[in-house]
Amino acid sequence: MELKIESLEKIGTVASQFIEQMNNRTIFAFNGKMGAGKTTFIKAICETMGVKETVNSPTFSIVNEYEAADGRTIYHFDCYRINKIQEALDLGAEEYLYSGNLCFIEWSENIAPLLPYSIVNVDIEEIENEIRIITIND
């Protein structure tokens, strides 16, 4: 499936479309180059789901926890700074990933051996002038 973000003003609409497509899936890897908009899109998804806390990149904490309006727990990972699988294991990544809660992961390739087979890849590509294409690969 492919979604198109034509501007930041329309990102909420695209986030709503993404949420409708999530179904019962819980683990999502957001892939794209630095600056592609991974954090911005995750923030829009969380806000659309009714998260009250400020959503920002967990670059230094590695994982942030949010609560959606419906009570669901959302874990937002930024694995950019993880250099060894042991670092992910030490922070309890497997407990988060296999908790049944929503997990939105940036730089998932850094923890690839820990990821479940049921992961959904969400590729974000900047085309031009802030236009992004979101490709969801089941």
Fold of 2-137: Rossmann fold (3.40.50)
Tens digits of residue pLDDT in 27-75: 999 999 998 999 999 999 999 999 999 888 887 789 999 999 999 999 9
Tens digits of residue pLDDT in 89-118: 999 999 999 999 999 999 999 999 999 999
Any bridge partners for residue 75, and if so which?
65, 103
Alpha-carbon distance of 39 to 57, in angstroms, equals 6
Higher-scoring residue by pLDDT: 128, 14: 14
Task: Dump the DSSP string for 21-76.
Answer: HHTT--EEEEE--TTSSHHHHHHHHHHHTT--SPP---TTTSEEEEE-TTS-EEEE
Q: What percent of the chain has pLDDT over 90?
A: 80
Return the domain boundaries, the chain.
Answer: 2-137
3-state SS, 73-119, equals EEEEEECCCCCCHHHHHHCCHHHHHCCCCEEEEECHHHHHHHCCCCC
Tens digits of residue pLDDT in 13-35: 999 999 999 999 999 999 999 98
